[in-house]
Amino acid sequence: MLREVFESGRPLTYVRTSEEQRAGNVLREAGQRLTGAGVPVWSWSLTTGLRRDGGMVEAGTHDPRGVLEFIAAHTEPAIFHLMDFHEPLRDSVEIRRRMRDVYQSIHGQGKYVVITSPVRAIPEELERSLLYVDLRPPDLVELTAFLRAESGTTDDALVHQLAPALLGLTLDEARYAVRRALAAGGQLSAQSLPSLLEEKRLLDKVVDARRGGFCYELNGAFGALLGTLGFDVTFLAARVYGDDGKAGDWDATVTFARDNGEPRIIRLEDD
């Protein structure tokens, strides 16, 4: 769909999604198909600044005004992926005004600005200037390719049998569902279906129904959230020591994650 958006000439698009990495891959695929040589993708966040795929960070682009100036001055076709740019737009009238200027200046130049955000927060000044898109969850074709790559299986019949169980999940959620199934059985098989469906049941119970859960359910759902946010997550078995100093059974779960390389252990308690 985004390729059609770009081909229509729209210079500014707002995509609501929590899957930044997947959105970036969709933009790269669309860019490759735009022209014979393809259109490169530049990615920006407040913490990393602006960089072209495989390139170095451009000086002066860490702040929102700086990246908008770079986009306006850039002379070649490009897709600019601005992550969470809704926050600078919300907080600064200057940034909103400059974005409107950029919108006018890049029109018809083969330059496209795509804002991705997990929330819809579009300033009234820009409502009529941009196209709003909800990035749909992965379809069966995307999930089939993902399942084949993530599990390493070459059994096409098995992949087509299991992939429908992941429909409705994000790729990050699907990744943890596959890891749950691999941890339970060592490899994917027809018997992996209950483990894949358990991830969906868990998210429905804890997130959608807001019913809470046992420690392994809460930590599993929280770990899926951290994975969606880009953290490297591993689930660990744990046991609790009583007041007498004796250890209980290995029947608890903790979430191990890395934050900028620093290890963190998180445990959510069922109360």
pLDDT tens sequence across 59-81: 999 999 999 999 999 999 999 99
Q: What is the pTM (predicted TM-score) of this model?
A: 0.69
Rounded CA separation 93/123 (Å): 10
Least confident of 39-43, 57-61, 84-88, 213-217: 213-217
Determine the pLDDT at residue 138. 86
Band of pLDDT at residue 212, cut at 50, 70 and 90:
low
Are 202 and 221 within 8 A, CB to CB? yes
Of 145 and 185, the structure prediction assigns the larger pLDDT to 145
Asked whether the CA dihedral 168, 171, 173, 175 is positive or negative, the reply is positive
pLDDT at 99 over 90: yes
92 and 41, same domain (yes or no)? yes
How many structural domains compose the chain?
3
Of 236 and 26, the structure prediction assigns the larger pLDDT to 26
Determine the pLDDT at residue 166. 81
Pairing of strands 49-52, 41-45: antiparallel
pLDDT tens sequence across 33-47: 887 778 999 999 999
**Alpha carbon separation from 66 to 63, 138, 159, 229, 266 (Å, rounded):** 5, 34, 46, 25, 37
Rounded CA separation 220/152 (Å): 23
Q: Which among 166, 193, 209 is the end of a domain? A: 209
- Tokens representing 218 are 């809460």
pLDDT at 239 over 90: no
Of 84 and 33, the structure prediction assigns the larger pLDDT to 84
Are 84 and 95 within 8 A, CB to CB? no
pLDDT at 85 over 80: yes
129 and 159, same domain (yes or no)? no
22 and 128, same domain (yes or no)? yes
9 and 118, same domain (yes or no)? yes
Band of pLDDT at residue 139, cut at 50, 70 and 90:
confident
153 and 123, same domain (yes or no)? no
pLDDT at 170 over 80: yes
17 and 80, same domain (yes or no)? yes
Rounded CA separation 178/121 (Å): 33
185 and 249, same domain (yes or no)? no
Are 228 and 170 within 8 A, CB to CB? yes
128 and 38, same domain (yes or no)? yes
Q: Which among 190, 209, 228 is the end of a domain? A: 209
Are 153 and 188 within 8 A, CB to CB? yes
Full residue range of the structural domain in which residue 161 is found: 138-209
pLDDT at 249 over 90: no
204 and 246, same domain (yes or no)? no
pLDDT at 197 over 70: no
Determine the pLDDT at residue 191. 73
Residue 41: give its domain's CATH number. Answer: 3.40.50.300
233 and 262, same domain (yes or no)? yes
pLDDT at 15 over 70: yes
Q: Which among 162, 190, 209 is the end of a domain? A: 209
Of 262 and 74, the structure prediction assigns the larger pLDDT to 74
How far is C-alpha 58 from the chain's CA centre? 24
Determine the pLDDT at residue 50. 96
114 and 8, same domain (yes or no)? yes
- Tokens representing 105 are 């200046």
Mean pLDDT score across all residues of the chain: 82
Helix (H, G, I), strand (E, B) or coil at 107: coil
83 and 57, same domain (yes or no)? yes
Band of pLDDT at residue 211, cut at 50, 70 and 90:
low
Q: Calculate what percentage of the chain has a pLDDT beyond 90.
A: 36
